[in-house]
Amino acid sequence: MVFLKKNREMFLLLGSCICLMMEIVGVMIYIAKKGGISESVMQFFYFTDGIRDWIRYLYISLGQLGFLINIGRVLFPYFLIDLALNYSMIGAVRRNNWLKKIVAILPFITLITYYPGIYRKLVNISGRWQIYLAESSMVWIVIYLLIAAALLLIEYFSITMKFCKTQFRKIIICLFALMGIYLLYCRQDPGQVYRFYSSPFAWNKGIGYLQGNPTILSYITLITASVICCVMGFFSLFSFTNDNYTESKDEAIIRRKFDTAKIGASMFVHSMKNQILSNKVIYKRISVLFEKEVPDMVKLKEYVNALEASNTNMLNRVEELYRHVKANEIYMVPVYLKDIIELSIKKFNEKYTDIKVETELNHNIQILADKSHLSEAVCNILTNGYESMLEAGTANKNHIIIRGYNERLYSVIEIKDFGMGMNKKLRKKVFDPFFSSKNSNHNWGMGLYYVREIVKSHLGIINIESIEGEGSSFFVMLPKYK
């Protein structure tokens, strides 16, 4: 996902995982080298004497080992709080980018002071320094974890859109699982490793050389908690990254489909020639009728109507194809969201006169948009929804609902219908070019593809929530503008 997305969120998530691994690996090496633990615990941790002895005699100095633990221990809460700030939609947090610089100060100072050479000089000046550093580092670590947890929970409970909440739930479970594992090991102060034989460090924090021998039960409890957190974290992270990967893959597939569709469009135009040839046959039949002394007016009218319908249908399809396939230019200017929605409803009512659309609007929201194109896109969704309601037989019972509001980083246009709804398979195909579940003679599948392209050209995204047999909700999510 780091290579695929290349965004800050994925780098911070990767950093958190790596730091946690560094801390746990450091602690496990330290336990093996420290010894003084029962054989049953050693077997529980390392499985075989060979693995334990390989780790025990691994060439690494106490300074290197302690600093390995220090890097993981210090940077994990920093990455976590930075990730929480990145996710937070609280206005004061998003406006003040200096907050991300401020939260880096304490981790940076701690990394410097715990550097083996600097740490030993400070402790040699006064033995109290080891206590001060240990206590102060734990204080800011706990504060960072609490702030990060609070920001994540506030953000989660402030999300109202179901699919956004489901997606965020996966990442928040993963982060809380990582935090749970971190809390099991973060009390291991690097000073206990640097000053391996120091009696002042025989406190009941982490794993000290002079501490009592822990029981197998305490270690089993520790590992059980770790495994539970690992399983929760892995599956939520796997689901989160799988969703993101699938979305990116689907994007590439749709782009390839459209490239293929361009070839299909030329073939489509070529097939028009066949229709024109059939029209020539109708012309010939009309000519034959006029060769008679008394033309059959019933037949003549039938031929004329067929010819007119055929030509009108061909013209409409060619014009729609040209309008949707050509490279449109988008000119975005500040415009009120309500104006876009009102214009969309007006265009919709030009086709379906007197069909009521219920609106719930925030009249003060402004966005950057091309009013003509975006209103056309929203009108297409309204049309699609109403035709689905006609098909389901619910058009006389319910009205389409359109809402405009702000959600996280987006200004949202939500269009809800009570039509046929879609299953998961259909939802994946609905934005494909030239895909239509309706009568292909009149609806040939460029409407929703056009909607998607217009939304993307506005730097936005479009999502669907749908229940088969109950209806669908389309969410056009555009970047907030202030």
What is the rounded (10 degree) CA torsion for 445, 450, 451, 456?
Answer: 140
Question: Per-residue pLDDT tens for 413-464?
Answer: 999 999 888 888 888 778 776 666 665 444 555 678 888 888 988 889 899 9
Query: Which helix (H) or strand (E) is 335 found in, with range?
Result: strand 333-336
The pLDDT score that the predictor gives to residue 18 is 94
Q: What is the DSSP letter of 354?
A: T
Residue 406: HSE in the Cβ half-sphere, 13 Å Cα cutoff: 16
The mean pLDDT value for 4-32 works out to 87
Supply φ then ψ for residue 164, to 5 degrees.
-65, -40
Question: Per-residue pLDDT tens for 25-46?
Answer: 998 888 888 776 667 777 777 7
pLDDT exceeds cutoff 80 at 276: no
Of 296 and 318, more confident: 296
The mean pLDDT value for 316-343 works out to 75
DSSP states along 141-161 = HHHHHHHHHHHHHHHHHH--S
Q: How far is CA 203 from CA 66, 121, 131, 183, 416, in A?
A: 17, 22, 10, 17, 61
Contact by Cβ (8 Å): 177, 236: yes
Q: Tell me which of 176-185, 233-242, 315-324 is least confident.
A: 315-324
Of 163 and 394, more confident: 394
Rounded-to-integer distance, Cα 395 and Cα 389, Å: 5
Contact by Cβ (8 Å): 72, 23: yes
Name the residue among 236, 182, 142 with its Cα closest to residue 20.
182
Query: Which residues belong to CATH 1.20.120 in the chain?
Result: 257-326
The pLDDT score that the predictor gives to residue 207 is 55
pLDDT exceeds cutoff 80 at 185: yes
For the chain, the average pLDDT equals 81
Instruction: Give the contacts of 52 (CB within 8 A, at least 6 positions apart).
Output: 32, 42, 45, 46
**End-to-end CA separation in angstroms for the chain:** 31
Query: Which helix (H) or strand (E) is 24 found in, with range?
Result: helix 8-34
Query: Which residues partner with 361 through β-bridges?
Result: 404
pLDDT grade for 49, boundaries at 50, 70 and 90: confident
Query: Which residues partner with 357 through β-bridges?
Result: 400
The pLDDT score that the predictor gives to residue 89 is 84
The mean pLDDT value for 280-296 works out to 78
Contact by Cβ (8 Å): 91, 124: no
Q: Tell me which of 159-163, 188-192, 317-321, 429-433 is least confident.
A: 317-321
What is the rounded (10 degree) CA torsion for 139, 155, 14, 177?
Answer: 70
pLDDT exceeds cutoff 80 at 281: no
The pTM assigned to this predicted structure is 0.67
The pLDDT score that the predictor gives to residue 402 is 94
Please determine, looking at this structure, whether the domain spanning 257-326 carries the CATH number 1.20.120: yes
Helix, coil or strand: residue 293: coil
Q: Tell me which of 19-23, 157-161, 197-201, 235-239 is least confident.
A: 197-201
How many percent of the chain have pLDDT more than 70?
82
Instruction: Give the contacts of 213 (CB within 8 A, at least 6 positions apart).
Output: 36, 37, 38
Q: At what angle do helices 216-291 and 447-457 cross, to 10 degrees?
A: 130
Residue 123: count other Cβ atoms within 10 Å of its Cβ. 20
Q: At what angle do helices 39-46 and 8-34 cross, to 10 degrees?
A: 150
The pLDDT score that the predictor gives to residue 209 is 42
pLDDT exceeds cutoff 50 at 210: no
Q: Tell me which of 13-17, 48-52, 56-60 is least confident.
A: 48-52
Query: Which residues belong to CATH 3.30.565.10 in the chain?
Result: 329-481
One-letter identity of residue 21: M
Q: Which two tokens stand for residue 304?
A: 């004329």
Q: Which CATH number fits domain 329-481: 3.30.390.10, 3.30.70.1290, 3.30.1280.10, 3.30.565.10?
A: 3.30.565.10
The pLDDT score that the predictor gives to residue 75 is 95
Rounded-to-integer distance, Cα 82 and Cα 15, Å: 11
Rounded-to-integer distance, Cα 400 and Cα 187, Å: 57
Residue 482: count other Cβ atoms within 10 Å of its Cβ. 6
Rounded-to-integer distance, Cα 174 and Cα 13, Å: 10
Question: Per-residue pLDDT tens for 339-367?
Answer: 999 999 998 888 888 888 899 988 889 99
Rounded-to-integer distance, Cα 113 and Cα 134, Å: 11
Supply φ then ψ for residue 410, to 5 degrees.
-120, 150
Q: What is the DSSP letter of 199?
A: G
The pLDDT score that the predictor gives to residue 129 is 84
Alpha helices in 212-296 (DSSP H): 216-291
